Structure 1
Amino acid sequence: METLLDTQRRLKSLLLMYLLVVKAAGDCPKPEGGNNTVLTNESLLMNVFPENVKVTLECSSGYIKESGSEFITCINNQWTESELICKKKDCGQPPPKPHMKFNTTGGTLFGALVKVTCEKGYQISGSSYKECYDQGWSGRASCEIVTCDKPAIANGNTSWDSGDDPEYNNTIRYTCHEGYTLIGNDTVVCDENGEYSPDQPVCNGMHDGNVDTVTDSGTVAAVVIGAVVLLGVIIGFILLHKFNMRRKGSYDTREDQKPGLLHFQNL
C-alpha cells in the first residue's frame, strides 16, 4: 500500500513539473514597438503573454497607418514579425489668411517647419514659423497693415483729419499758414516701413514780426558769400586809407625838395 502511494506521489510531481515546463516554454516576453510603432494602451496593461496570445500595435504620434496588420502573436516563445507600416502624417498646406504667404519648400510632413511672411505693406503679428504636429499646424500669426505716426507740421496744416494713424499707402497733403513758405514736397505717402516718403515738409517765413530761420544749404551759402564780400570791402578801405596817408605825409615834410631850390628861394 505504501509503495502504491509513493508511486502516485512521484507521478503527480512529474506531471506538475511537465506542466510547468510546457507553460514556461509557451510564454513570450513583453513585446516592444517597432519602426514608428508602439503598443496600444490595452496591450501595455497585460502582464503575461501565453502561447497564441495576440497584442495590438499602433502608429507612433505623428504617423498614420500605410499598410499591414496591427497584430503580432506569441508562437513558440517568440513574437511574429510586425507587418504594420506607418508613414509620416501630412499636415497639408497651412490654412490661408489675408495678406499671408507660406514658404513650404521644406515640405508639409510631420516635423516640417514653414516660414510665414506677409505681403508688402503688412507685418507679422505672432509667430513667424509654423510646425507640423500630430494635431496639425502649430503657431498663431496674422498680418497687420503697417501704420505711420500721425502727420504734423509747425505753422501749417495737413489733410489728415482721422483719429487713427495713417496706414500703408495713405496720402497726406500739407499747406502753410499765411506768410509762410512750404519747403519740401506738399504730398507724402506712408510707405511699407512705416515712414513717410518723401520726408515731411516744413513751413518757413515771417509771421507776426518774427522771422523764421531757414536752414537750407542755399541760404547758408549766401550768408557765407556775403560775409566774405563785406570783409573784402573793409580790407580794401583800410589799405586805401593807409595809401592816402602816406602820400599826404610826403608833402608836409617837404622831403622831396632839393637844396638848390631852397637857396634860390632865400635870395
Structure 2
Amino acid sequence: MSTPQPPIDPNRPSAARIYDVYLGGGHNFASDRAVAARAVELLPETPSVARANRAFLRRAVRYATARGIRQFLDLGSGIPAGDNVHQVARSTAEDCRVAYADIDPTAVLYTRHLLDGDPRTVVIQGDLQRPAMILHQPAVRDLLDLSRPVGILMLAVLHYLPDGPALDAAMDAYREAAPPGSVLAISHLTFGDDPALVDRVADLYNRTGTPLVPRDADRVGRFFEGWRLVEPGLVHSPRWRPDDGDEPVSDAAQRLTLAGVAER
C-alpha cells in the first residue's frame, strides 16, 4: 500500500517552495512567487544566497564522506534541486544512505517522487523540533544505523524556527543520538551590512505565516554546543572550504549566511 500524500495548500506560501523559486525550480505556486519577488526587491542578492547555500551543501557532504561517513539525516531537506545529498554523497561512495525529513508537504511529495524505487533513501514528513518522532520512525530506523557515525544536516532550516525550549531540547537530542565520529552541518541566515533590510525580509515572511529568524554568529554558534567545530569554524558560507568551481564572490558577507561543520 502506498503512503498517502500530505495535503498541499497552493494559496498559503511555503518556505520550501519560496526557496525553490530562488533556485529557479518549478515546484511552486503564485503565492510563493509573489513572496519571492518581494524578497528579491528588498534584497536582490537573495537568489545568489540560495545558490551559495547549495554550494555549501555539496562541500559539507563531501567533507563527511571523506571522513568515512556513509549515512546522512537531512533535516529540513526542502524540495529537490540539483545535487541532492544522496547524489553528492554517492559521487564519492556509492553505498551512502540518506534519510530526508521535512515538515512541508510539497517537499515530501516531490522528494518521494524523485526517490521512488531507491532502496538506500527514504523521505518522511516530520518536525525538526520533534526529534523522537523522526529518529524513531520505522523507515528511518530501518535505513540508518545510529550506532555508527552519521552526517546530520540542518541547512537553511533553523532560521525558520523561533528560539525556545523546544528548539534547544531538539538540538540536544540530535547531539545525543549521534555517535562519536558523526558530523553536524548548519547554515543559517544572518545580518549583513544593513540589518534593517534583513529585518524587512523577515517581516515579509512573518506576515505570510512563515516565521524567519535571522541570528548573529554568537547565537548560531550555540547550535554547535557539545560539538567541535572544524576549521575554518563558523564563517560566511562562501568561505567554508571553497572549491575552485564555486560561483565567484567578491564579498562573502553579502551571501548573508553563516555556515559551519562540527564533529562529535
Task: Judge same fold: TM > 0.5, yes or no.
Answer: no
| Category of TM-score, reference length = shorter chain | under 0.3
Max radius of gyration: which structure?
Answer: 1
TM-score under structure 2 length normalisation: 0.15
TM-score under structure 1 length normalisation: 0.15
Which structure shows the bigger proportion of residues in strand conformation? 1
Which structure shows the bigger proportion of residues in helix conformation? 2
